[in-house]
Chain A
Amino acid sequence: MSAAGLLVQLLNGLADASSLFLLSAGLSLIFGVSRIVNFAHGSLYMLGAYVAYSILERIGGTPLGFWGSVLLAALAVGAIGAMIEIVVLRRIYRTPELFQLLATFAVSLIVKDAVLAIWGIEDLLGPRAPGLAGAISILGRRLPQYDAMLILIGVVVLAGLHLLLTRTRWGVLLRAATQDRDMVGALGVNQALLMTSVFCLGAFLAGLGGALQLPREPANAGIDITAIGDAFVVVVVGGLGSIPGAFLAAVLIAEIKALCIALGTIALPFGLTIAFPKFTLVAEFVVMAVVLVLRPWGLLGKPQAAAVSAGPPETPLAPAGRAQKWLASAVFVALLLLPLLAGGNSYAIVLAIDIFVGVLFATSLHFIMGPGGMHSFGHAAYFGLGAYASALLLKAAGLPMPVALLLSPLGGGLGALLFGWFCVRLSGVYLAMLTLAFGQIVWSIVLQWDDLTGGSNGIIGVWPSAWLASKTTYFYLALVVCAACVLAIRRILFSPFGFALRATRDSSLRSEAIGIDVRRIQWIAFIVAGAFCGLAGGLFAFSKGSISPETISVSRSIDGLVMVLLGGVQSLAGPVIGAASFLVLQDQVARDFEYWRAALGVLILILVLAFPGGLVGALRFRLRRA
C-alpha cells in the first residue's frame, strides 16, 4: 500500500468520523443534562435522512437548495425532538433509568412504523451534492469532494458546540444542569425549557448527521438500529456527556477501521494470512473493550459516582407458599394435558412452545435484572449465541441434535463469560448501554460473517432428531426443560449465592464490607443467566427449524425487558406471567395489525407513563441528600 493510498484512506476515515460524531454528539449532550439515554436517537438520525430525501426531491437541484434542504431537515428533526421531550420525556425524568430507556425505545418503535408508512420499505439514495460531485486528487489518488466537506462540517460543529457551551449563558446553564439540575432550578432557571432546548439541539445534530449521510448511504428503515449501536459505542468510549470525547472516539474508531481496510490482507510466514478488512466488524468492540478496561468512564469522561440506591429498599423475595406451589403444579399438569385437549398439531401447541422459550428467556433476564439489579439491554445476544451454537454444532460439526441442544447453554454462557467481565465493571445506565453495544456487536458479526453464519439468510434445516420431530413431543421437551430451568433459577436465588447477589444489588459498598466479592458474584450471575438464556435460544432454533440474525436483534432484547416489566421486576413469578401474557398479546395483535411495532410502542409508553414511579413500587427520586 502506497503512502498516498494510506493518506486517502485515512481522510476517508475522517469523513466517517464526522458522521459518527454528528450522530453521537447529540446523544452525549442529552445524556449529560437529562441523564436519559435517548434510545430514539438513531430514529432521529434516520428521520433526518428521510426528511432530507423528501425535501431534496423538491429543491435539491442547486447548491443552495441542497444545503438548504439539509438544514431544513435537521431543523425539522430538532422540532420533532423538542416535541418528544415535551410529550414523553418530561414526565419521566424522575423515574428509574430502565423506564426512561424503555420509553425512548417505544418512541423509536413508533418512529419506525411512521417511516415505513410514509416512505415505504425501499432503500432511498439521495442525490449527490451539486458542485461537490467530483473528487480531489491527492498524490494521484481521489478523495470525494463531499467527504472533504464532511470533514470540514465535523470540525465546524465541534468548534461551534465548544463555543456554545463555554461562551454563552445557555451553555453555562447547560453545564451547570449537567452537574446539579435541582440547584439550577433553585437559582431561578426554568429547567423544563432548558431540557427542551437541549433535546432540540441534540435531535438537530442527529438529523443533520442523517441528512448529510444521505448522498453516501441510502436511507432505509433499518439504519436507526445500526446508528444507535454505533452512537452508543462512540459515547461510551468517549465518555458519557463529553463532546470532545465523542469527537475523539469517533475519530479513533473510524481511523482504526480505515487502517484495517488500508492494510488489506497481509501474508505471514508459514502460509498464514491475516485479512485485516474483516477486523472492521469488530474494531468498535475492540476499541470499546480496551478503553473500558483502562478507563471505565471513557476517554474524556469523569469517573461515575458510586451508585446511590434511588428508592425504598426492595422487599425480600418470599419462597413460594403452599397455595403457590399447588397453583404452579396445577398449571403444569394442565399444560401436560394440553396436546390431548387442543390436538397435537394445533396452533395452540406452536404458540405454547414459543411461550416456553419466552418464559425461559425472560426468567434468565429477570435473574440478573431483578435480584441482580443489572439492567441488560442486550440479552438477545446470549439467546442468539445459544441458538447459533446449537445450529452450528448440528450443521457444521455434525453432532446429533440432542447433544447440540444440550451444548447450547455453552454458547450463551461463554458469551456472558466474555461480556459479563466488562459489564460488571460498570453499573446503572453505563452497564445497560454496554450490554446493548455487545448485543449489537454479536448481531453485526453474525450478520456479516457469511461463511459461518450464512449472513442475513441465516441457517436453515435446523430440525430436531426424528424421535423429537413431532410437535407434541417437542412441546413436552420444551415444557420440561423450561419448567426445570425456572425451578433451578428459583433454587439458585434462595441459595447463599442468591442472597449474596441480592446483597450486591442493595448495596455494593456494604456487600464488599462484609467480604462479598461483588464483581465476581455479578459476573457469575451474568454467566448463569447467559447459559439459561442460551438454552432458550437452542430450544428456539430447533422449534423453528431455521435461525437468522433476527434472533439476536435488539427488539428481542427489548421484548424480554417488556416481559419482565409487565410481570414485575421484583417478583419471581413475574417473568413467567409477563412472558406468557406478552406473547399471547403479541400473537393476537401482530397477526391482524400491520403497525404492531407502533402498537407495542404505545403499549410501552402507557405502561411507563401511567405508572411513572414504576410498576413494582412507587420509586421516586428525591432531592439529593433528602
Chain B
Amino acid sequence: MSDSLLSVRSLTARYGAAQILFGIDLDLRAGEVVALMGRNGAGKSTTLKAIMGLLDQRSGDITFRDADISHLRPYEIARLGLGFVPEDRRVFSDLTVLENLEVGRRPARKNADGRLVDPWTPERLFELFPNLAEARRRAAGRMSGGEQQMLTVARTLMGNPYAILLDEPSEGVAPVIVDAMADMILALRSSGVAILLSEQNLPFASLVAARAYILERGEIRYSGSIDELRGNEEIRRAYLEV
C-alpha cells in the first residue's frame, strides 16, 4: 500500500457553465488530519463533494486505498471506507438519533492482517458524544445545531471509515461546541481515522491539523505545514484573512 490513503490529481469540477475547480492535487495519509483552507467560495466544499462523487461534472484521478474511485457512485465510495460529513448538518430530521446512526451503519472492516476492527456502535459513539446519549430517542430535527453537527459526524463514523471528509465542522456552532469538535477530531485521529477537513478558521485548524492546503478560486495556492502557515503573514493575508 502506498503512503497516501487518499490521493487526488488534477481534479476539476463545474456546475453547469461555471467551472469551480481547476486541477486540484492533494494527499491524505493514513491517520493524519489535513486542513483544506480558503475563503468562502474558494471551492472547499466543492472539492470534498467532488471527491465523494456527489457532483456529476468532475474529472481527474482520485485514488483511495489504491482503488480508482474517480468514476464510482457515492455509495460505492462510502462502502470502500471514505466517509463524508456535509457542512449543512443534513441530519434526517424526522428520524431519531438512533435511527440516524442506523442509516450510516456498515459492516465492520478488516485490518491489513485480516482481523476485524472493532466497529463503531451507538454505545461507543455516545462515549465520544455524551450529548447524543441523552437524546437517543429524540427526533434529530429537535436537537440544537451543535448536537446535529455531532450527529452527522457520528452517523458517518457508523460506516467504520478509514478516512473522513469533514466539511466546515466549526461553522455556525457555539464556541463550546467548537471546542468539543476539536477534542472529537483529536480523539478520532488517535483512533486511526484520517481526516480531510475543510475550514476557514485558522486557530481551529491549527488545533487539530498538522498540514494545510489553501484554495483560492479553485486552485491550490499553498501546501505545507500549518505552523509555517501561522508564521507566514503574507500568505495568510493573501488567501485567508478577510
Residues of A within 8 A of B (CB): 169, 172-173, 175-176, 178-180, 182-191, 312, 620, 622-623, 625-626
Residues of A within 8 A of B73 (CB): 185
Main secondary structure of the interface of A (DSSP, over half): helix
B94 within 8 A of A: yes
Please measure, in the bound complex, the distance between the C-alpha atom of A175 and the C-alpha atom of B91, giving whole angstroms. 12
| Cβ contacts B80-97/A at 8 Å (1 or 0 each) | 000010101010111100
Residues of B within 8 A of A179 (CB): 92-95
A176 contacts B92, C-beta separation under 8 Å: yes
Shortest Cβ distance from residue A195 to the other chain B in the assembled complex, whole angstroms: 12
B79 within 8 A of A: yes
B170 within 8 A of A: no
Shortest Cβ distance from residue B67 to the other chain A in the assembled complex, whole angstroms: 15
Residues of A within 8 A of B149 (CB): none
Shortest Cβ distance from residue B182 to the other chain A in the assembled complex, whole angstroms: 24
B55 contacts A187, C-beta separation under 8 Å: no
A183 contacts B15, C-beta separation under 8 Å: no
Residues of B within 8 A of A626 (CB): 15, 49, 55
B102 within 8 A of A: yes
Q: Give which listed residue, B93, B94, B104, contacts A187 with CB less than 8 A.
A: B104
B95 contacts A175, C-beta separation under 8 Å: yes
Residues of B within 8 A of A173 (CB): 103
Decide yes or no: A188 and B15 within 8 Å by CB, A172-B103, A620-B56 being known contacts. Answer: no
Residues of B within 8 A of A (CB): 15-16, 49, 52, 54-56, 73-75, 78-79, 84, 86, 88, 90, 92-95, 99-100, 102-106, 155-156, 159
Q: Give which listed residue, B16, B78, B92, contacts A175 with CB less than 8 A.
A: B92
Query: Considering the complex of A and B, which 5 residue pairs feature the smallest CB-CB distances, nearest first?
Result: A188-B78, A176-B92, A185-B74, A176-B103, A186-B84
Decide yes or no: A175 and B52 within 8 Å by CB, A185-B75, A187-B104, A189-B103 being known contacts. Answer: no
B90 contacts A188, C-beta separation under 8 Å: no
Shortest Cβ distance from residue A32 to the other chain B in the assembled complex, whole angstroms: 11
B75 contacts A183, C-beta separation under 8 Å: no
Output the residue of B49, B75, B106, B159 with the most chain A CB within 10 A. B75
Shortest Cβ distance from residue B146 to the other chain A in the assembled complex, whole angstroms: 19
B94 contacts A175, C-beta separation under 8 Å: yes
B79 contacts A188, C-beta separation under 8 Å: yes
Shortest Cβ distance from residue A303 to the other chain B in the assembled complex, whole angstroms: 13
A186 contacts B78, C-beta separation under 8 Å: yes
Please measure, in the bound complex, the distance between the C-alpha atom of A173 and the C-alpha atom of B92, giving whole angstroms. 10
Residues of B within 8 A of A191 (CB): 75
Residues of A within 8 A of B106 (CB): 188
| New A-B contacts (12) at CB < 8 Å, excluding given A188-B79, A188-B104 | A172-B102, A175-B94, A179-B94, A180-B90, A180-B92, A185-B73, A185-B75, A186-B74, A186-B78, A187-B155, A189-B75, A622-B55
Q: Give which listed residue, B56, B84, B99, contacts A172 with CB less than 8 A.
A: B99
Closest chain A residue to B78 by CB distance?
A: A188
Residues of A within 8 A of B15 (CB): 622, 626
Output the residue of B55, B74, B88, B105 with the most chain A CB within 10 A. B74
Decide yes or no: A187 and B102 within 8 Å by CB, A179-B94, A626-B55 being known contacts. Answer: no
Decide yes or no: A187 and B103 within 8 Å by CB, A172-B95, A312-B16, A623-B49 being known contacts. Answer: yes
Residues of B within 8 A of A176 (CB): 92, 95, 99-100, 103
Residues of A within 8 A of B95 (CB): 172, 175-176, 179
A182 contacts B74, C-beta separation under 8 Å: yes
Residues of A within 8 A of B84 (CB): 186-187
Closest chain B residue to A194 by CB distance?
A: B75
A183 contacts B94, C-beta separation under 8 Å: no
Please measure, in the bound complex, the distance between the C-alpha atom of A623 and the C-alpha atom of B20, giving whole angstroms. 14
Residues of B within 8 A of A185 (CB): 73-75, 78
- In the assembled complex, 17 residue pairs joining A and B whose CB atoms fall closer than 8 Å, in A order, are A169-B102, A172-B95, A172-B99, A175-B94, A175-B95, A175-B99, A179-B95, A180-B92, A182-B74, A184-B103, A186-B54, A187-B155, A188-B78, A188-B159, A189-B75, A623-B54, A626-B55
B55 contacts A186, C-beta separation under 8 Å: no
Residues of B within 8 A of A183 (CB): 86, 90, 92
Residues of A within 8 A of B93 (CB): 179
Please measure, in the bound complex, the distance between the C-alpha atom of A606 and the C-alpha atom of B105, giving whole angstroms. 40
Output the residue of A182, A188, A189, A312 with the most chain B CB within 10 A. A188
Q: Give which listed residue, A180, A187, A623, contacts B156 with CB less than 8 A.
A: A187
Please measure, in the bound complex, the distance between the C-alpha atom of A184 and the C-alpha atom of B16, giving whole angstroms. 24
Please measure, in the bound complex, the distance between the C-alpha atom of A176 and the C-alpha atom of B52, giving whole angstroms. 19
Please measure, in the bound complex, the distance between the C-alpha atom of A180 and the C-alpha atom of B54, giving whole angstroms. 13
Closest chain A residue to B84 by CB distance?
A: A186
Closest chain B residue to A188 by CB distance?
A: B78
Residues of B within 8 A of A172 (CB): 95, 99, 102-103
Please measure, in the bound complex, the distance between the C-alpha atom of A186 and the C-alpha atom of B49, giving whole angstroms. 10
Please measure, in the bound complex, the distance between the C-alpha atom of A312 and the C-alpha atom of B17, giving whole angstroms. 10
Residues of B within 8 A of A622 (CB): 15, 55-56
Output the residue of A169, A182, A185, A625 with the most chain B CB within 10 A. A185
Residues of A within 8 A of B56 (CB): 620, 622
Please measure, in the bound complex, the distance between the C-alpha atom of A312 and the C-alpha atom of B84, giving whole angstroms. 28
Shortest Cβ distance from residue B64 to the other chain A in the assembled complex, whole angstroms: 14
Please measure, in the bound complex, the distance between the C-alpha atom of A173 and the C-alpha atom of B79, giving whole angstroms. 16
Residues of A within 8 A of B79 (CB): 188
Residues of A within 8 A of B16 (CB): 312, 620
